[in-house]
Amino acid sequence: MTSLPYHGLRLLAVHAHPDDESSKGAATSAKYASLGARVLIATMTGGEAGDILNPALLQSPKASRDIAGLRREEMATAAAALGAEHVWVGHVDSGLPDGDFDNQTPPGCFYRVPDEVAMLPLVHIIRTFRPQVVTTYDELGGYPHPDHIKNHAVTMAAVEAAADANSHPELGEPWQVQKIYFNQDLSAKKWITIHEKMLEAGLESPFADHLEDFKKRDNQRHNWLSTRIACSEFFSARDRALLSHATQIDPEGGFFSASRKAARTYWPTEEFELALDLTGREQLNRDLDFQETDLFAAVTFDDGRRVPEEGMLPESPAADDLDADSSVPTESDTRA
């Protein structure tokens, strides 16, 4: 019996809260899991500070009395929808204060824990799971949330420490991650392109009021979309995973509106930024987007085999090549 092509490869996706794994790189995770890779989602915090954003659950006794417990159940359902494994790193949700993060986040929360301490459980996870590839957020967190910014710093510190035999040997044998990627689902290029394509198709865009914010964010940090994964066949799994977080997602709200579903038609991929490449191949040109179609491109298996430099996934379609007259997904498409 022939094994699946990605059997023996391991992807660790490090996220700040339960639900982040379903809104950032989720279809990519589901695709790799279906192809035989082990995909482990590490969730830094329990999401204890999350609000109940679904009106249908506002009167739920469990949601109001044990939000942390309910979010653990939601997370288990979401991971199963993606075909992924899951582990809690164990930090406490910092919340999203209006003011300065250093002064407004509560004592003991994830954001307040020193990086060298906060990284320790993740170092153990890396050395135990031994991923060739790790995904996390960029230094601005993808968007300005204290736990997302902290997620970046702690992940980068943990990857470095995990490879150092002299760093915390009690946490396991050293392991060198070969590649790190930043999730770039919130890139300005993506959402401005979707907006323009929707207008061309005669549709009302839900992103019109956010264009200046997208441009401002791009000016603050220009995201390099080095890697594009064609994964539209797993968008339904991604939606099921996200809807599993019922306390956080209103299925009748803006995220699952007709406009949101239409947006899926014009960008059937997920993007990442290559942040670390220790594969030994020639380095990619940071001035060019969309140079890779596989996070595991050029990665070495445990047995010494090497993934081809062009990767093993099919080339992703460019957003500009998509048919603007494509049919718009219906409500039933996202609830399949």
Q: What is the share, in percent, of the chain residues with pLDDT greater than 90? A: 64
pTM above threshold 0.85: yes
What is the per-residue pLDDT across 256-295, written as a single tens digit (0 to 9) for each? 555 557 667 889 999 999 999 999 999 999 999 999 999 9
Look at residue 79 and tell me whether its pLDDT is greater than 70: yes
120: in domain? yes
What is the per-residue pLDDT across 117-153, written as a single tens digit (0 to 9) for each? 999 999 999 999 999 999 999 999 988 899 999 999 9
Q: What is the share, in percent, of the chain residues with pLDDT greater than 70? A: 83
Domain limits for position 47: 10-186+224-252+269-315
Q: For residue 295, which of 182, 189, 187 has the smallest C-alpha distance?
A: 182
Predicted confidence at residue 65, as pLDDT, reads 65
212: in domain? no
- Lowest mean per-residue pLDDT among 96-100, 101-105, 175-179: 96-100
17 annotated ligand-binding residue? yes
191: in domain? no
What is the per-residue pLDDT across 198-216, written as a single tens digit (0 to 9) for each? 899 888 888 888 888 888 8
**Which tops the pLDDT comparison, 279 or 245?**
279
**Which tops the pLDDT comparison, 331 or 174?**
174
125: in domain? yes
- Mean pLDDT in the chain? 87
How many separate domains does the chain show? Answer: 1
Q: What are the residues whose beta carbons fall under 8 Å from the beta carbon of 96, sequence distance 6 or more?
A: 49, 145, 146
210 annotated ligand-binding residue? no
Give the pLDDT band of residue 218 (cuts 50, 70, 90). confident
197: in domain? no
Burial class (CB in 10 A: 0-12, 13-18, 19+), 272: buried
215: in domain? no
Q: CATH code at 240? A: 3.40.50.10320
Look at residue 112 and tell me whether its pLDDT is greater than 70: yes
Count of Cβ atoms closer than 10 Å to residue 148 Cβ = 25
321: in domain? no
148 annotated ligand-binding residue? yes
Q: Look up residue 322 and give its DSSP letter.
A: S
